[in-house]
A and B are shown apart, each in its own frame.
Chain A
Amino acid sequence: MTTYHPLTVTRVDRLLNGSATSVWLDVPPHLTSEYAWKPGQHLPIRLTIGGETVERSYSISSAVHRNDPLRITVKRVDGGLVSNWIADTLTASSTLDAASPRGTFTVDAHETQRRTIYLVAAGSGITPLYAMASSVLRDEPDSQVFLIYGNHDARSVLLSDEIDELVAAYPRRFAVAHVWGSTWSSWTSPFAKGRIDGSVLDRFIDKYPPYAQDAHYFLCGPGTMNRDVAGALLNLDVPRERIHSENYGGGAALWDDEEGVAAKISAVFRDTTHAVDADAGSTVLAALLAAGVDAPRGCEAGVCGTCTATLAGGTVHQRQAMALSAADARAGKILPCQAIATSPTVELRYDAG
């Protein structure tokens, strides 16, 4: 049972021409421990709008280095009941019912830690990451923070001034790279245009390599951003346990463990075509070996590249593809020892003769 208390709204800031709102809340002394929060957590609130009681949860965006009181920043969503009410109706000195902060997407800054914290944000996903950045910069003097932040254009950067202020306060330990989706140009140019994809991340990490080697990656954005960025980070050798994320506005799970489908495999090897059946989840190589085909193979772990083949039809999912370069992958090269069918028919031709 969630317990709500009415907290006094001390201030309301309309941001970006009213497309987002920061709400400052006063926690009375006797509730301080109940509303203690960790950067990255969100605050459940309850409202009654037009007779309907609704519950929402918004990330806490307070600047730890300024010792801000509790603050949430809410982006206006088209047709959204609560976000529009907050944007249009909520005023200072009213009250807002809030429950104690929650969430496990936290950065847990501590003085003795020495880390490199990468933050990847898109749109309003900045709010918990801003609190995290501010907290690490204040509380971990040996750590650095690098933020890559995707927005539509320079005019839609939420908390823009506060981010600039944080850079000015910690110029040697905090850097920001903006990525703008729009081709609209302004007098400043972003770090990159388009989406935060693998090549943008590669360039970002190359420009801001980890000095402290205990690196962690915090992702917060809408839709499929988290999954796309997590996939790109995995391709850059980042281990899963160092990637932390929170989804905004729903979206797919971070890790996609493909199960595959049963398929008819047609493999050309030394001018002979072998047709075999593969069970769902079986690798192409395993299916060929089970049928008695002496297919090329080496490490059977995606490392050596001995089994490299070219996909001629259908689709596969590869668990590992260390032996393949990005150019190989674009050219349709696959590693049968790692490939499981994701279409009912798969055709391939072995490179080895």
Chain B
Amino acid sequence: MTALPAPSHLSGRMLHHLPVEAYTSEAWFAVEQERIFSNCWRYFGFAEDVSEPGQYVSRQIGLNNIVVVMGRDRRLRAFHNVCRHRGTQLIRAVGKTQKALTCPYHDWTYDLEGQLISVPSESREFGCVNKSELGLQAASVDIWRGMIMVHPDASAPPVTEFLGPVEKYLGPHDVDNLVEASMFTIDYEIEANWKIVVENYIDVYHLSHLHSETLNIYDHENAEYGWVGPHYHFREPLEENYAKATRSAGMLVIPEDELAAYVPMLWPGFGLAEAEASWSTFIITPLSPTRTHVENRTKMADASMWEQTRAAFSRTASLLSRAGAKYTGQDAAGKDDPMASGDFTQEDIYACEQQQKSLTSPYFVAGPASEGESPVLAHQDIVAEWVGYTR
């Protein structure tokens, strides 16, 4: 039996510089997982997540499950969470002083350098195990901008070689001295390909339209944006009245004379929203060709919630146009209409999911891309380069 032919309405169709399949097919998803998401420095978490000796966290990063553990020298180590015995993903830090990593399946135990130090009943079960060749496989780990970064390759070049060149376009925020505001942590899934989510994030054209009522505190006309390697940077001033109110409200996380919103999308799917009173991550994780996970964590100035709330109120209270719904009254489809939510995240999720749905329509045809959408095309070109796709 021969394989079924691909649906004819999908073949050869393009969304600007990438084929529609790039947004819908398992084959593209698998290639991206390998060549993009398992092939460079990746966000792992906040430095605070592993900040005590013996503490450890494991996380799926692309195709790799990586465990990061801190020794009593306060240095992080990263290993592939694959026991060298049966490959079981069970590695965890244990012991009274948490100086060892162990797989509870057969109790194979490694020291904090990944050396295999114990194989229970070694002589009875194995005769002899060459422990020196069965250490945990190391990965690279470092801290950058208050975040733990990992690379699956133990001999990866420094994280600053990858992200250093874009740093001068990022916000002047002193991230290490901000404090996480965990009540603002959200994670959610979007029924869309990860690239749709990125493209939405970097589409400058949509800011004044989809978010006409929700992000009108920023001066989109004067946005500056561009690329350094695969990393996108974006900066826009605050709208004049809002800037004035923001200065007097205090609780800033940025020097007053550098007031602006910095909203970069670093590679791959590693977004930041470095704003006037908060600093947030926007971490994009592809789950399937049509499903994407987003995690936002937020840091703020070190102050009480009451002070933060008061400052937030005083920033927006004086504005004539406060955040509102795009559609109201009869234009709203109902009380759950994202277009009536007055929440820019709901507006974005809605736009992404509706975009994804149309990709499988036999009548889908992409129109021209605007100047403000030029970053979308650039991102498609970078994806194409990393996966090895040529038009």
Instruction: Give chain A's interface residues, CB within 8 Å of chain B.
Output: 112-114, 142, 202, 205-206, 209-215, 233, 235-239, 298-305, 320, 322-325
Contacts and interface: CB of A to CB of B under 8 A. Distances in A.
What interface size band does chain B fall in?
20 to 34
B74 A299 contact: no
Helix, strand, loop or mixed for chain A's interface?
A: loop
Interface stretch (B157-165, B182-190, B287-295): B157-165
B74 A209 contact: yes
- Enumerate the 7 nearest inter-chain pairs by beta-carbon distance, A residue then B residue, closest first: A301-B118, A237-B71, A209-B74, A322-B99, A114-B158, A299-B118, A236-B72
Nearest to B54: A237
A330 B117 CA distance: 25
Contacts of A235: 72
B143 A211 contact: yes
Nearest to B118: A301
A236 B71 contact: yes
B75 A322 contact: no
B325 interface: no
Interface stretch (B107-115, B272-280, B302-310, B335-343): B107-115
Contacts of A238: 71, 73, 75
Given A205-B73, A215-B75, A299 B97 contact: no
B109 A237 contact: no
Interface string B131-174: 00000000001110000000000000111110010000000000
9 contacts: A202-B72, A205-B74, A210-B74, A236-B71, A236-B72, A238-B75, A301-B118, A303-B118, A322-B100
The listed residue with most B CB atoms (<10 A of its CB), out of A114, A212, A322, A324, is A322
Contacts of B158: 112-114, 142, 214
Contact of B73 (A237, A301, A323): A237
Interface of B: 53, 71-76, 94-97, 99-100, 102, 107, 109, 111-113, 117-118, 120, 122, 141-143, 157-161, 164
Contacts of B143: 211-213
Given A142-B164, A299-B118, A303-B95, A210 B100 contact: no
B117 A325 contact: no
Given A114-B158, A142-B158, A299-B109, A323 B142 contact: no
B142 A303 contact: no
A195 to B, nearest CB: 19
Given A215-B73, A322-B99, A299 B120 contact: yes
Given A238-B73, A323-B95, A325-B96, A301 B164 contact: no
A319 to B, nearest CB: 10
Contacts of B107: 299
Given A299-B118, A301-B118, A322 B72 contact: no
Given A142-B158, A237-B99, A322-B95, A301 B74 contact: no
Contact of A212 (B97, B142, B164): B142
A145 B158 CA distance: 17
A304 B72 CA distance: 18
